[in-house]
Structure formats: structure tokens, C-alpha cells
Amino acid sequence: MITIIGTGRVGVAVAIHLAIKGLDDIMLIDIIEGLPQGEALDLTHMCATLGIDIDISGSNDYKDMSGSELVIVPAGFIRTADMSRLDLLYKNSEVIKAVSKGIKEYAPNSKVIMVTNPLDVMTYLAYKVTGFERNRVLGFSGLLDTSRYKSLIAKELGVAASTIYTTIIGEHGDTMVLLPRFTMVGGVPLESLIPKEKIQQIIERTKKMGAEIIKLKKWSASHAVGAGVATMAEAIIKDTKAVIPVSTYLQGEYGVSDVCVVVPAVIGKNGIEKIIELPLNDEERAAFLKSVETVKSAISQLKL
């Protein structure tokens, strides 16, 4: 069973994509009476229409996540256009503490995908509160930020986004480090296809894309998040060994410890099966370390 804690727009988007993939039965949990139960019914009818045979249930009680192989956490307050992801720290840390305690009690053998912002800080908090091994606590964001980056590159070059490979490191936020040197378009290095100045413009727009979406539709992104989280879930449930950038607790990798930030990793049935260390140059490493310090500063404000 896969449990989703938090059935707002993001949680429902995640549920839709999980259901379409037919990976496992789904349990929706929320503190609002009736909401997860109603969404479960609606999604059940969607599955019947599509010929998907999985069970979807809703509950207001953490105990109903018992037996879950995977717990996905989009619970919490959303970001408004004038807020940074870090502005959400104080509001969402109390939510994630409570959720993490529930997971520890009722789904002690699960893997956890954190979706709540500020993503890296909340991933760190969930790791510390659950006490799980680090491979079992993953933060979603890398697939979202790289999808935005790839879509802009695809539009600039007039190519399919599916032909672009890239990755990302650092914070899910303003100091994220996109990596043109590790970006390939059909096997061709990006830097040989687009001028450096234009690449930098694409990177800056990628960093601001979350706020741009909020400003336009008056709500945070959900569709791309749902698709990305379901992709991570599929890698775990099907043990695909996909290489995905995820937020994870570092223990010396990249010369960094006691922080959760995004790095590429192999994802399979055990969660994070291997962290991939990229051969960064001096400029990339400096940007990464600056991003790490931003997250560490935010973590220092947590009350564990």
C-alpha cells in the first residue's frame, strides 16, 4: 500500500498519477473530516472508468497507514507568490513533526517521500524525527526543477524534452545549482548548442518558475509535482534503479555532512541505493557549497 498524507491539490495530483500507473492500493490521509474519503471515492470512480483495479481509501487517522510500503508527504501550508520556500519553515515544521511521528509509529518499515516545502529542511526534519535509515527518507524536487529546465531548453532549441538529460544539485530553492556542463541534448553537450548568456537566462527563469506559476494561476504547482512524485514511487515499487536527483541526508559525500540537499542517486526497492558524486569543477563546487550553507542556516532554526 502507498499512503499519501495531505490531500490538497498536490496530494490529489500525486494520487491521480499513482493510480494511473496502477502501482499499488492507495490510502489518503488528511486532518479535514470527509476530504480524503471524498477524494478516495472520486478517484475510485476514475479508476473504474479507466479500467484500473486498485483500492483507494480515505481516512483521518494515522493508524490507517499501517502496512504501507511507501508514505508520501505533501501535507502542510502552501507558498504564496511573495513567499520564499524558506518562509514556510516555521509553519510547516510543526506539521511535519506530527506527521513524522505518525509514520514512525504506524509505518515503521516504510520509505518516505517528502514533498512539503521548504523541501530540504522538511526532509531533514522527517529523517531526524522518524529515526529511519537515511536511504528510506527521500525529498522530491529534483525532477520538478529539471523538468522546468528541460522544457525551457527544449523550447529554445525546438527539440523534444525527452531527448534532454540533465541533473541538479543543492537546495530546492533560489540557490539551486543547475549544471549546463552535465546537460546533454541527444548526446550533444548543451554548451555547444546555446550561448552561455542564453543558458544563464534559462537557469534564472528556472529558479523563478515556481513563483511564476503561483503568480499566474494563484496556486502552487501540482501537475508536474504529481507526475514527478509518481515517477519516484515507481522507481521504488518496481525497483527500476532509476537515476533521479533527490534530497537526501549526506554523510561526507561531496565533502558535506549533516544536511539534506539534492544530489543524483540510484532509486530502487530500498529507496536510495547509491548516491552519485559528480566531478564538479571549482565554480560548480562553490555554488553547491553556498547552497548547502543556505539549507544549513535554515536547519539551524528548527526546534528538534
Assess contact for 102 and 62: CB atoms under 8 A. yes
Strand segments, DSSP code E, in the chain are: 2-5, 26-29, 56-59, 70-73, 111-114, 137-139, 164-165, 168-169, 177-178, 184-185, 188-189, 242-251, 257-268, 271-275
Residue (of 231, 225, 235) closest to 271 by Cα position: 235
Q: Where do we find the cell 513563483? A: 211
> What grid cell was written down for 5?
498524507
Q: Do residues 125 and 258 touch, judged by C-beta distance below 8 A?
A: no
Which residues are within 8 A (CB) of 241 and not within 5 positions of it... i.e. 6 or more apart?
Answer: 235, 266, 267, 268, 273
Helix axis angle, 223-237 to 142-157, nearest 10°:
120
Active site residue 172: yes
Please identify which of the residues 17, 45, 172, 223 carries the catalytic annotation.
172
C-alpha to C-alpha distance for 170 and 142, rounded to whole angstroms: 9
The three-state secondary structure class of 20 is helix
Q: Who contacts 221 (Cβ-Cβ below 8 Å, separation ≥6)? A: 144, 210, 213, 214
The answer for residues whose C-beta is within 8 angstroms of residue 218's C-beta and 6 or more apart is: none
Catalytic residue numbers, as ranges? 172
